[in-house]
Amino acid sequence: MNYYRIRDVKLKIHGRIDNALDVVPLLANGQGIEVNVTGSQLWADVEADYEDYEPWAAIEVNGSLTSRFMVDKGRQMICLFKGRSPEKTTRVKFYRELQAMSEDAKTCIVIRGLWTDGEFKAPPTYEHKLEFIGDSISSGEGTYGAREDADWIASCMSYSRTYINLIGHELNAECRVISQGGWGVFSG
């Protein structure tokens, strides 16, 4: 497999992130990267940290959610897919599930690079661009977990099940979100 620094990859960055950076920091829900790549496997070089609220991430392959998980502290390799037909192009989106956590300034995921045995193709394009400003509903609080899980639990929050992600899939739209539980247009 070959290693590619983020700035050397043909990719689509999701979220309000500076495209000129050498890394892609994922600080809020929905922020991430998306690539079209051939090859049998793709791995991400990721670093994460937190104090109280562990960051969660998700992987979509060809538009379908394939994994969501807590990202451990430290630098690691995360498998985005493995065992696919190497001649076919696979569309992969890796993004942060957890909302911005102002109570924990250390909570972050940083994508440093990618490993693959394939070749990166032109990144996906979208017909529309939408931006959402919201609160706990836009942040996906309570979209996972049992009905009675009413505590502020990182594993129960998600971008993958928000109405924003669903709208993005239905409208072929690039969606950005700025939200946090307790915030709102009127207050916060």
**74-99 residue pLDDT tens:** 999 999 999 999 999 999 999 999 88
pTM of the model: 0.93
Residue 8, classed as helix, strand or coil, is helix
| Residue 188 CB neighbours (<10 A) | 9
Q: Which of 44-53, 138-147, 177-186 has the lowest mean pLDDT?
A: 177-186
CA distances from 70 to 63, 95, 119, 142, 164 (A): 21, 12, 28, 16, 21
How confident is the model over 116-166, as pLDDT tens digits?
A: 999 999 999 999 999 998 888 888 888 888 888 777 788 888 999 999 999
Q: Give the pLDDT mean for 18-47.
A: 94
Q: Give the pLDDT mean for 9-20.
A: 88
User: Per-domain residue ranges for the chain?
Assistant: 2-121, 128-179
- CA angle, 160 then 12 then 24, to 5°: 80
Residues in the chain: 188
- Mapped to the 3 state alphabet, what secondary structure does 120-171 carry? EECCCCCCEEEEEEECHHHHCECCCCCCCCCCCCHHHECCCCCHHHHHHHHH
| pLDDT confidence of residue 186 | 60
The two most distant CA atoms of the chain are separated, in Å, by 52
CATH for the stretch 2-121: 2.60.120.260
